[in-house]
């Protein structure tokens, strides 16, 4: 793993720099009515640039040195990312104490809102769910596979997947991401960050992370999308974390028929549902070496012709 040094992080930035006043005006001085929510490292605001373009502005809360590191990490990584299933970073602002990230605005909120809200989940028919699953898989494959990037996201979860106007999914929030280079594919950290419930056992317990830990999170997310249910909020305890993948498998083994019944009513393609369940369960396997990589996942899911691209 190439741990990026703080002082190097800015060298990679090839992004438009906005001045603070422009963004303050665009967001109506960060007024509370424009606040979209609280992200991992500070509040996010909606704004509109002078040319009419809608933006989302992530404002780093000024008090933590750790936040500054994550900010630089996120900027240097995302500045190079170009994929339709990743939220696009349009620019940044580093002025005085202010640190802002300016993103394309995603009008349909996060996936979290759709899959865990009893009413909203009904808005996601099978075709949309499959489209979203395939899009997330392609975005993650791009992060893992691009030879220049090779990025592990480390915090893939429903609230970090945003939806655009056409309900295309885009992965966001790269504050925890790490690059890895050469032949090295597994790294160790004693600072485990991420979200319990989505974290793979080897990462949560031993701090070992690799592309396969993202695959595990993807598997949990896929199963959540299929079932419209949050993973069972496992606690930070070795016992529970060891059981996480196992619990999903047990639960899904009991449930596939119910799931298919539910989706059949909406004329879904049963073979696609079965394929998705199969892929999800492969991804949440206990041992990283048993999980498929994202290239295989994308292949196994098959093509997504459900919605116009
Ligand atoms: O679920 P949400 O509505 O979508 O609430 C969270 C909140 O900000 C904190 O992360 C929203 N958010 C983050 N980035 C964007 C974006 N690019 N476009 C629209 N909303 C965003 C996120």
Query: Tokens for 262?
Result: 């539910």
Tokens of residue 74, six digits: 């996120």
pLDDT tens digits for 10-45? 445 567 889 999 999 999 999 999 999 987 678 999
Residue 281 has pLDDT above 90, yes or no: no
- DSSP annotation of 195 reads -
Q: Is the Cβ atom of 94 under 6 angstroms away from ligand 1?
A: no
- List, for residues 75-107, the tens digit of each pLDDT value: 877 788 889 999 999 998 988 888 898 999 999
Catalytic residue among 155, 173, 214, 304: 155
pLDDT at 28: 96
- The pLDDT of residue 1 is above 50: no
Residue nearest to atom 13 of ligand 1 (CA): 44
Strand residue runs (E) in the chain: 35-39, 42-48, 54-59, 89-95, 98-104, 151-152, 161-163, 169-171, 178-179, 186-188, 208-210
When pLDDT is averaged across residues 263-269 and rounded to a whole number, the result is 65
Decide whether any atom of ligand 1 lies within 6 Å of the 56 Cβ.
yes
Question: Which comes out higher in pLDDT, residue 59 or 147?
Answer: 59
Span 261-273, average pLDDT: 70
Greater confidence (115 vs 133) lies with 133
| Residue-wise pLDDT tens digits, 57-76 | 999 866 545 466 767 767 87
**Whether pLDDT at 233 is above 90:** no
**Given a cut of 70, is residue 176 above it in pLDDT?**
yes
The whole-angstrom separation of Cα 38 and Cα 23 is: 18
Specify the range with the lowest mean pLDDT, choosing from 214-218, 224-228, 285-289, 301-305.
301-305
φ and ψ at 209, to 5 degrees?
-130, 150
* Per-residue model confidence (pLDDT) at position 257: 59
Residue 59 Cα to ligand 1 middle (Å): 12
pLDDT for residue 235 is more than 80: no
Atom 19 (ligand 1) nearest CA: 106
DSSP secondary structure letters along 74-132: HHHHHTT---TTBPPEEEEEEETTEEEEEEE--TT-BHHHHHSSTTGGGGS-HHHHHHH
Selection from 108, 205, 120 nearest residue 165 by Cα: 108
State which ligand 1 atom lies nearest to the alpha carbon of 112.
1
Q: Does ligand 1 have an atom closer than 6 angstroms to the CB of 172?
A: yes
Asked if 261 is an active-site residue, the reply is no
Token digits for 168? 């295309």
Mean pLDDT of 5-10: 40
Of the pLDDT bands very low, low, confident and very high (cuts 50, 70, 90), residue 189 is confident
User: Residue 80 has what pLDDT?
Assistant: 82
Q: How confident is the prediction for the chain on average, in pLDDT?
A: 80
């Amino acid at each position: 793993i190439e741990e990026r040094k703080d002082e190097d992080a800015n060298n990679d930035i090839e992004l438009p720099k906005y001045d603070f006043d422009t963004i303050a005006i665009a967001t109506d001085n960060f007024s509370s009515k424009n606040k979209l929510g609280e992200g991992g490292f500070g509040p996010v605001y909606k704004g509109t640039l002078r040319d009419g373009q809608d933006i989302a502005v992530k404002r780093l809360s000024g008090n933590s040195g750790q936040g500054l590191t994550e900010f630089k990490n996120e900027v240097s990584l995302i500045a190079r990312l170009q994929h339709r299933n990743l939220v696009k970073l349009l620019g940044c602002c580093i002025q005085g104490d202010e640190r802002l990230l300016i993103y394309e605005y995603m009008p349909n909120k996060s996936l979290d809102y759709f899959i865990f809200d009893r009413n909203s989940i009904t808005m996601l028919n099978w075709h949309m769910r499959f489209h979203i699953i395939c899009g997330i898989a392609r975005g993650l494959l791009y992060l893992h596979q691009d030879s220049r990037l090779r990025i592990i996201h480390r915090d893939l979860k429903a609230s970090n997947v945003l939806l655009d106007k056409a309900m295309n999914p885009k992965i966001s929030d790269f504050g925890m991401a790490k690059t890895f280079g050469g032949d090295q594919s597994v790294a160790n950290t004693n600072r485990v960050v991420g979200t319990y419930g989505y974290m793979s056992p080897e990462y949560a317990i031993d701090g070992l992370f690799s592309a396969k830990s993202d695959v595990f999170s993807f598997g949990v997310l896929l199963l959540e999308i299929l079932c419209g249910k949050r993973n069972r909020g496992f606690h930070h305890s070795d016992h529970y974390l060891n059981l996480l993948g196992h619990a999903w498998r047990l639960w899904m083994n009991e449930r596939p028929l119910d799931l298919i019944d539910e989706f059949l009513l909406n004329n879904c393609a049963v073979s696609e549902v079965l394929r998705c369940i199969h892929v999800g369960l492969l991804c949440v396997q206990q041992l990283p070496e048993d999980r498929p990589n994202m290239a295989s996942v994308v292949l196994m899911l098959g093509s997504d012709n459900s919605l116009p691209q």
